[in-house]
Amino acid sequence: MAKKKTKFMCQDCGYESAKWMGKCPGCGKWNTMVEEVEHVQTGRRGAFSGAVSSSVKRKPEAITTIKTVEEPRIFTKSSELNRVLGGGIVKGSLVLIGGDPGIGKSTLLLQCSAQLADQKHKVLYISGEESTKQTKLRADRLGVTADHLFVHAETNLEMILDAINEMKPDFVVVDSIQTVYHADITSAPGSVSQVRECTGELMRVAKTNSIPIFIVGHVTKEGSIAGPRLLEHMVDTVLYFEGERHHTYRILRAVKNRFGSTNEMGIFEMKEAGLQEVLNPSEIFLEERSKGAAGSVVVASMEGTRPVLVELQALISPTSFGNPRRMATGVDHNRVSLIMAVLEKRVGLLLQNQDAYLKVAGGVKLDEPAIDLAVAVSIASSFRDQVSNPVDVVIGEVGLTGEIRRVSRIEQRIQEAAKLGFQRAIIPAKNIGGWEAPAGIEIIGVETVSEALKYTLGG
């Protein structure tokens, strides 16, 4: 009999303690310490065929003598998913997809599995939350009829590994990792020990057999992946599926990617027949724009290698409280407060007794400095009740002294604006030169916020 040992583990951060505590010393949260039984493993690890034994000794190698083989990536039919993954699926990669309940994680992976199965790849879809009949009903609604797609309703990790060993699939999807349990661990499925051990086993299978594995992770009410942060450190790629449940557009964003950039973004539209990729998101974000309203400004933002034009909306109104309110959706709250302080100090706008509400239309989140000038222009437009020119696009970073600093990839931003019919671009003066502007758009370089307001608002 293996010797058992009792310990207490935090279900949020994975902190271990020999005794129970009301407050976790690791993350500071209350009532998250749960008693778990720890004992020696029974030897299941390494039982999967092809697994590398831990007793094999390896010698250190000089990095110049290591030979690398550039393996081609596997492409799905979704260019948006390929973009976020860094150019396709890498063999042997472990990909974690998180998102709010009902946002479309299972729908995205089922459609991706069908696309890979249509290319004659053998795909194993493991469902821990639905039966095979329920998965079949969802597949019928999405129009999935792939012969090489196999569905397996199982939560026992040993059974899952046996199914992978017998079937030898090209791709595996586990939906979700919080429902899978290891029989040798006495804690409940979804606990820190279960999630950590099950993910470790799946990672070994993926690496030793070159099988790409996609796993779905539930998120907490704060929006992070449920379970320990170790889960995100173990996998190769972490994708977040974002979007409002009451809107049809979904954004797939990479927050970690060992095989590509973490700045890429994929946009999908949820329809009755499933998710459909949006190839030109700028048109979608600007299609409902009201061109005669004060406080509306268009900015060209870079999401990875893709320029995206979105509308910034600001509403400035006199406050009825002692402290004015500052609310922002899609942009950083602290950035808005900083820009309002610059407008008050350097431009002379009396904003200390005004409530400020800012929003990025379409549910997009912008976090780059190049949107600063557009935020400043939208706030000044609403405060003065002056309509900015609807054919202007505003780009630039604002400094604390009111200067406009240069931004990166200005040429791609201007080309996207010209393609959508904008006639004038307000950009930093330092960005002018060294590139040729497309025909049909006027480039105006500004050095201060006051100068930018003269061109956009006439004063």
Structure confidence at residue 45 (pLDDT): 46
The candidate with the shortest Cα–Cα distance to 335, out of 303, 276, 378, is 378
C-beta separation of 155 from 167 below 8 A: no
Instruction: Reduce the DSSP state of residue 105 to 3 states and report it.
Output: helix
Q: In the block, which residue shows the tokens 């092809």?
A: 50
Structure confidence at residue 7 (pLDDT): 83
For residues 264-271, average pLDDT? 87
C-beta separation of 356 from 316 below 8 A: yes
Whether the bond between 176 and the residue before it is cis, its omega within 30 degrees of 0, is yes
For residues 91-111, average pLDDT? 91
Q: Give the pLDDT band of residue 50 (cuts 50, 70, 90).
A: very low
Structure confidence at residue 220 (pLDDT): 66
CA separation (Å) from 310 to 284, 292, 315, 413?
9, 16, 17, 12
β-strands 274-277, 171-175: how paired?
A: unpaired
| Alpha-carbon span 226 to 275, nearest angstrom | 24
Structure confidence at residue 53 (pLDDT): 41
| Alpha-carbon span 176 to 368, nearest angstrom | 33
For residues 364-379, average pLDDT? 93
The candidate with the shortest Cα–Cα distance to 357, out of 374, 375, 343, is 375
For residues 366-371, average pLDDT? 92
Please tell me which residue, 57 or 115, carries the higher pLDDT value.
Answer: 115
Token pair listed for 357? 């509400």
440 annotated to a ligand binding site: no
pLDDT tens for 440-458 read 999 999 999 999 999 999 7
Token pair listed for 183? 């029989």
Token pair listed for 230? 């170790």
Residue 147 has pLDDT above 50, yes or no: yes
Instruction: Reduce the DSSP state of residue 16 to 3 states and report it.
Output: strand
Q: Give the pLDDT band of residue 48 (cuts 50, 70, 90).
A: very low
Residue 248 has pLDDT above 70, yes or no: yes
Q: In the block, which residue shows the tokens 């002018």?
A: 432
C-beta separation of 387 from 418 below 8 A: no
The residues, any chain, with a CB within 8 Å of residue 148's CB and separated by 6 or more, are 117, 118, 120, 121, 122, 123
Q: Which residues are paired to 267 by β-bridges?
A: 251
Q: Give the pLDDT band of residue 229 (cuts 50, 70, 90).
A: low
Q: Number of C-alpha atoms within 13 angstroms, CB side, residue 96?
A: 29
Structure confidence at residue 70 (pLDDT): 73
Structure confidence at residue 51 (pLDDT): 41
Greatest mean pLDDT among 37-51, 115-129, 240-254, 299-313: 115-129
Residue 44 has pLDDT above 50, yes or no: no
Structure confidence at residue 459 (pLDDT): 58
Topology of domain 74-279, CATH: Rossmann fold (3.40.50)
* CATH code that applies to domain 284-457: 3.30.230.10
The candidate with the shortest Cα–Cα distance to 388, out of 414, 346, 422, 348, is 422
pTM above 0.85, yes or no: no
Residue 215 has pLDDT above 60, yes or no: yes
Residue 328 has pLDDT above 90, yes or no: yes
Of the listed ranges 4-8, 237-241, 452-456, the least confidently predicted one is 4-8
The candidate with the shortest Cα–Cα distance to 107, out of 97, 118, 117, 122, is 97
Q: Number of C-alpha atoms within 13 angstroms, CB side, residue 312?
A: 35
The residues, any chain, with a CB within 8 Å of residue 431's CB and separated by 6 or more, are 406, 407, 410, 445
Structure confidence at residue 294 (pLDDT): 93
Please tell me which residue, 242 or 144, carries the higher pLDDT value.
Answer: 144
Count CB neighbours of 204 within 10 A. Answer: 18
Q: Express as a percent the part of the chain with pLDDT over 90.
A: 58
Determine whether 26 is exposed, middle or buried from the number of CB atoms within 10 Å of its CB (0-12, 13-18, 19+). Answer: middle
79 annotated to a ligand binding site: no
Residue 23 has pLDDT above 50, yes or no: yes
Count CB neighbours of 415 within 10 A. Answer: 16
Token pair listed for 196? 């950590």
217 annotated to a ligand binding site: no
Q: In the block, which residue shows the tokens 């910034």?
A: 312
CA separation (Å) from 432 to 9, 192, 253, 429, 453?
57, 53, 31, 6, 19
Structure confidence at residue 225 (pLDDT): 61
Written as one letter, the residue type at 193 is S
pLDDT tens for 117-134 read 999 999 999 999 999 999
Instruction: Reduce the DSSP state of residue 458 to 3 states and report it.
Output: coil
99 annotated to a ligand binding site: yes
Structure confidence at residue 204 (pLDDT): 94
pLDDT tens for 67-88 read 877 778 999 999 999 999 988 9
Q: Express as a percent the part of the chain with pLDDT over 70.
A: 92
H helices then E strands: how many in the chain? 11, 21
Residue 46 has pLDDT above 60, yes or no: no
Residue 384 has pLDDT above 50, yes or no: yes
C-beta separation of 122 from 150 below 8 A: yes
Of the listed ranges 236-250, 261-275, 334-348, 393-407, the least confidently predicted one is 236-250
Structure confidence at residue 196 (pLDDT): 85
Token pair listed for 372? 């600063």
Structure confidence at residue 189 (pLDDT): 87
Q: In the block, which residue shows the tokens 């956009």?
A: 456
Structure confidence at residue 360 (pLDDT): 92
For residues 208-220, average pLDDT? 89
Structure confidence at residue 301 (pLDDT): 93
103 annotated to a ligand binding site: yes
Average pLDDT, the chain: 87
46 annotated to a ligand binding site: no
